[in-house]
Amino acid sequence: MGDKVDVVVAGSGAAGSVFAATLAEAGRSVLVLEGGKSRTLDDLYSSQIWARRLKWGAPTVEETGKHPIWYNFNAGHGYGGAAMHHYGVWPRYHPEDMRSRTLYGRALDWPFEYDVLRPFYDQVQEDVGIAGDAEAEIWRPPGAPYPLPPILVNEHGMAFAKGFEAKGLHTSPIPIAVLSRDYKGRPACIWDGWCDAGCPTGALANPLAVYIPRAVAAGAMLQAESQVTRVMMNKRGDRAIGVEYYTPDGLRHMQEAETVVLAAFTVENPRILLNSADSSAPSGLANSSGLVGRYLLSHAAVMVYGMFPQATNSFFGTTGGQLFNQDAFDKQSDAGAYGSRQWEIGLATKPNDLLGIAMSRPDIYGQSLHKFMHDGARHIGAMVGVCEDQPNIDNRVELSTTKDRYGMPQARTVYQYSDDALKLWEIAGKEGVAITKAAGATDAWHGPLGGQHIMGGTIMGSDPARSVVNQFSQTHDVANLFIGGGGVFPTSSCVNSTFTLHATSLMSAQHLRDHWAAIAA
């Protein structure tokens, strides 16, 4: 058993690193237990093949239901988690995303309004350095202007911009956590388009570039290959006293702590809670509402491609895109489908991998594939439409009967997109192809239904009977147990989740810091 610490954090990704930095800088002893391997920025080889090492490699999550959530693609493993190889597109949620039930009688309300989260967005943005143009981003909710000017827009972004303009749609520079200039000791991006393989220069705000170094400088300890399996409780069952974890040698360990933060990503957090069932919490820890694992959420995404007569040089740039559009953000802007949509435009595209040139047309093979690859290398253009899904109590994470090598039941997900999300996806696909044609592409097409960003499963709310955590991501049932990550979101909006989960994690970590005596005592 290791020495007792003030805070033990499960997971070293986006959320875990924010908790670790905030609490270590407040003088707390922090231990981060990471299930995957130790990695440094020097491990991030520029290769779509090597990039696959960073993806989920732990026991398989069983995906059931009508639609997969693409867990293995969306999850990461090892220091930095999925955030280590994420693309840094960081828009904010809009005020109406948090008041859906009040405003429209649909979905769920968050336990606070946008204004409560706004200062945390502003703080995170200042910490990591977001590039963008707040004025041109006409849909943007109130907030401090971006600390950095927009990123590069090359012939790829410009080609699509023409199509949006022709359709009467607006584009703005994309809000992105990629440095357009040197910032706080980190170098500006050189637009090599290797974001998916993990950015080793530190220009993209992955955890190893920003919050982990801060946490470590303040004395936090990181321990790799330590898979958290249970939260340990006191005899009364009302306080967490630490966590159980396993190391690859098969040994079981116990780490005592004053407070526990689960930041092991959306599916793994409920898995740990459900596996922590004991006599005082027979249906799983922090589960008096019965909602642990429920309201799992994802975005329905559509990739749209065009082959342009002019060079797009799309091997260059940032994988998350160059330009942005939220003209269809209004929840009721698309007839017959409730929810918002957005476009991320001009995605840097390499030859191989799931989002590469070859996979954009999986039907082509033989010599035609060679020709397609040569044409696409300099002429393909790509953008992605992201559509909101609606919270559904039946979409869930549960425990499987299959166990992993440590005897922990694997997670099983059950997922089905709402009719609204599927309709938005269909509208987006058609709109994207029309825009791409209007942009002058000689050929335009879209890909199949894809899942992006996984949220929900441990949702926040003011009513303990209808939510798992409160507005500070603190479980209703166990005061010294916190959840970090997009798992606490009751609605998905259509925006990428990582900026918002940084903001909620920062709010939560500061709450714990400022109320330490009351919570940890």
Partner 1 sequence: MTPDDINRRKFVRNTGLGALAFNIGGVSTLLTPREAYADGVKFTSLAAEDAALLAAFADHLLPGAGAAGIAHFVDHQLGVDPQECLLMCKYFPEIKAPFDVFYNGGIGALRDVVTHQYKKPFGALAAAEKDAITNDLWQGSIENWSGPPPPLFYMMVRSDAVDVVYGTKDGFDELNIPYMAHIMPKEKW
Shortest Cβ distance from residue 367 to partner 1 (Å)?
6
Single out the residue of 229, 120, 131 nearest to residue 179, CA to CA.
131
**Site stretch for partner 1 (CB under 8 A), options 3-11, 348-356, 502-510, 513-521:** 348-356
In angstroms, rounded to a whole number, what is the distance separating the alpha carbons of residues 399 and 273? 10
Shortest Cβ distance from residue 230 to partner 1 (Å)?
22
Contact 357, 380 (CB under 8 A): yes
Burial class for 435, CB neighbours closer than 10 Å (0-12, 13-18, 19+): buried
The SS3 of residue 424 is helix
**Site stretch for partner 1 (CB under 8 A), options 90-98, 193-201, 231-239, 497-505:** 193-201
Restricted to residues 12-51, the positions that interact with partner 1 (CB under 8 A) are 36-37, 42, 44-50
Which letter, b or e, does each residue of 92-104 get, where b requires 16 or more Cβ atoms within 10 Å of its Cβ? Answer: bbbebbbbbeeee
Q: State residue 265 phi and psi, 5-degree precision.
A: 80, 165
In angstroms, rounded to a whole number, what is the distance separating the alpha carbons of residues 521 and 514? 13
In angstroms, rounded to a whole number, what is the distance separating the alpha carbons of residues 469 and 415? 22
Residue 189 in tokens: 């991006």
Contact 213, 197 (CB under 8 A): no
CB nearer to partner 1: give 349 or 504.
Answer: 349
- Using alpha carbons, list the distances in angstroms from residue 200 to 191, 437, 511: 13, 36, 32
472 binds, among ligand FAD, partner 1, none (CB under 5 to 8 A by kind): none
253 binds, among partner 1, ligand FAD, none (CB under 5 to 8 A by kind): none
CB nearer to ligand FAD: give 55 or 170.
Answer: 55
CB nearer to ligand FAD: give 82 or 307.
Answer: 82
Contact 340, 388 (CB under 8 A): yes
State the sign of the Cα–Cα–Cα–Cα dihedral 348, 352, 358, 363: negative
Binding-site string for partner 1 from residue 152 to residue 171, where x marks contact by CB under 8 A and - marks none: --x-----------------
CB nearer to ligand FAD: give 87 or 372.
Answer: 87
275 binds, among ligand FAD, partner 1, none (CB under 5 to 8 A by kind): none
Q: Does 196 bind partner 1 (CB under 8 A)?
A: no
Q: Does 410 bind partner 1 (CB under 8 A)?
A: no
Shortest Cβ distance from residue 309 to partner 1 (Å)?
17
Task: Note the helical H segments in 172-329.
Answer: 211-217, 268-275
* Interface ranges with ligand FAD (CB under 6 A): 10-16, 33-36, 74-78, 81-83, 85-90, 196, 227-228, 263-265, 268, 272, 320, 453, 485-486, 496-499, 501
Which positions touch partner 1 (CB under 8 A)?
36-37, 42, 44-50, 52-53, 55, 57-58, 60-61, 63, 68, 70-73, 77, 154, 190-194, 199-201, 313, 315-316, 350-354, 356, 358-359, 362-363, 365-367, 369-370, 373-374, 377-378
